[in-house]
Amino acid sequence: MIIVTGGAGFIGSAVIWMLNNKGFDDILVVDQLGTSDKWKNLVNRSYRDYIHKSEFLSALEKRQFDPADCIVHMGACSSTTETNADYLMENNFHYSVRLATYALSNNIPFIHASSAATYGNGASGFCDDVAALGDLKPLNMYGYTKHLFDLWAVRTGAMQKLTSLKFFNVFGPNEYHKGDMSSLAYKGFFQIQESGALRLFKSSHPEYEDGGQRRDFVYVKDCAETIGWLIENPSVTGLFNIGSGIDRSWNDLATSLFRAMGLAEKIVYIDMPPQLAKAYQNFTRADMEKLKKAGCRLWQTPLEKAVSDYVTHYLQNEDPYL
């Protein structure tokens, strides 16, 4: 059995999609569905059972489930604008530590979702070397709680036994419930559909033109395949970036969207809110050498191909779910 926390969420449901594609459905889904539409991410998927995240840890520790072959911990509050620091500390940090501690004490491979938000403004680079963790200064509380877990894992020696993944700008099907935290590829599709134009932020930094700020965009299917490889290779542990390893501009993403939709390009540049400008990453690019050296194939779907797949097979499809 494989346990996937956040299994109804964006990356979590993509992991279940990947496992189902490999013919595996002995999966326990852990999540908190609430009143959102993320339950729809599970409709096309096959799995053994579902349990609410508030009941999961105590049930796990009481041995109410069969022994797990692996725990894929994607569950977290991923909102970079969440201001309830106590909630984030408990939900993202303490919950993860408790689950990791259980997994390691029972020799269960543990894969954890960290984030590129831990890199802050990128002044210290984007290298996933644990020796550089002390130099990182996240710009928001979400990134800080993910950073705290990585620091805990190194301090306690747990990082040598588990895998923590720093996801960069992930986009693709099943992100529809994320609201403001959904990708520009998703939100932009509907902007273009409704108005014929796409809004991008003007640059607040002289080094970048309007829309020229650069990101490492990574397709969610590539992330799922990478996690699949890690599940199959439990001896590969440590801290790893999960990105494309290539930086592209927001203008590139916009062009890809218009082409995929078969429409003439029309970009409108708008002022960046002052509060956002203070914590804005103008550049991200994952250093993927560490994962490559570990023997993992790098799934790197080109931006144009990924956007085309997303638009034509999902966003323009009657059933847009994986």
Q: Which residues are catalytic?
A: 142, 178
- For the residues of 140-153, what is the DSSP string, one character each? SHHHHHHHHHHHHH
Q: What 3-state class would DSSP assign to 268?
A: strand
Question: Is the CB of residue 129 less than 8 Å from the CB of residue 164?
Answer: no
Residue 170 structure tokens:
């992930």
Question: Is the CB of residue 125 less than 8 Å from the CB of residue 287?
Answer: yes
Residue 36 structure tokens:
């959102």
Give dist(CA 218, CA 244) in Å, integer. Answer: 5
Decide the pairing of beta strands 27-31 and 217-219: unpaired
Residue 318 structure tokens:
């009657």
Q: What 3-state class would DSSP assign to 55?
A: helix
**Cα dist from 281 to 120, 254, 278, 302, whole Å:** 7, 18, 9, 22
Which helix (DSSP H) or strand (DSSP E) does residue 232 occupy?
A: helix 220-232
Give dist(CA 322, CA 320) in Å, integer. Answer: 7
Residue 288 structure tokens:
């993927």
Question: Is the CB of residue 169 less than 8 Å from the CB of residue 183?
Answer: yes
